[in-house]
Amino acid sequence: MGISFDDGPLPSSSTKLYEFLQANKQRATHFFIGVNILQNPNEFMMAFETLQDDIAVHTWTHPHMTTLSNMDVLAQLGWTMEIIHNSTGGRLPKYWRPPFGDSDNRVNAIAKEVFGLKTIIWNQDTEDWSLSTNGTTSQQINASMTTWLTGPKVPGLNILEHELTDDTVQMFIDAWPVIKENGWNTISVAEMDGGAPYQNSPSSSGNVQPAANIVRPFVSVAQPSSTSSSSSSSSSSVPSSLTSATSTAGTTTSSSIAQSLTDTVISTSTGPNPSSSTSASQSQTTSSASRGTYWSWCSTLAIVVPSLWVLS
């Protein structure tokens, strides 16, 4: 059973959850919203540093991702990747969960090809987020949890739960005895997937490989030459640097070139000391030059992302 929570970090509810996880020595994956990290650095550091739990991406402002332009998808994922990177000693998350489960091939491709993110959904939904709007009740959630937890162990459980309010956290706490009574092996989502929670570190306490060592250096993307031959004119929307890379370098792919662009944001960040409780807030004080680089990066990606679709 993969243990994970969405929408944190938040005052009160997240603290209540983290204290329970700590008391029960339970590791979890937290799909965090970027602005919540910015506004609640103490809760963030409790999850990352005290619990040493897995930190994952849940976008910057929790939008419906399939309604966004390519550029807005990049911003939602990119800003969240950056604040996590800057607040965890340079770690690059490996997993993200789309808000409302709203994703498609286009959004998944941007997440994977540009940021190296793996999309995580769920196989059971408590709908606990709707407790505050009377969309569901604690009785209904308890009944559903009992059904799932007393049911088959195969293929396993990945239940959608939230650290959104004290009530949503209480639903997990109430289900805990049933989880243990039925012999579930409770692990984080990253452990369930059989890998590390980060692209460049095995855990929230393990060694970190600098981002510059795992992503390619930034490459400028040139527009296709106007003198292209007729045989290549049909792919004129593909930048020449991409077409040449895929045709002349057997080991270089559109994926590796696209992922290299991540370094423009990540490598220009100073990365505050993760031991500081204000590190999440400090990560937003990067220089104007860095921000200028970010927008240059986005402009380049406006060319690259459509090209990925042509190449695929």
Which of the residues are catalytic? 6, 162
Element (H, E) at 13: helix 13-23
| 3-state class (DSSP) for residue 124 | strand
Q: Is the dihedral of CA 28, 167, 157, 103 positive or negative?
A: negative
Q: Are strands 118-119 and 124-125 parallel, antiparallel or unpaired?
A: unpaired
Residue 55 · residue 5 · CB < 8 Å: no
Report how far apart, in Å, the C-alpha atoms of 262 and of each of 73, 87, 284, 286 are.
Answer: 14, 17, 17, 16
**How far apart, in whole angstroms, are the C-alpha atoms of residue 110 and residue 79?**
14
Here the tokens at position 303 are 């060319």
- Nearest one of 24, 11, 12, 18 to 179, comparing CA atoms: 24
**Both tokens of residue 256?**
């590796």
* CA distances (Å), origin 73, targets 9, 120, 255: 21, 16, 17
Write down the residue that tokens 């890379």 correspond to: 245
Q: With contact defined as beta carbons under 8 Å apart, do 38 and 5 qualify?
A: no
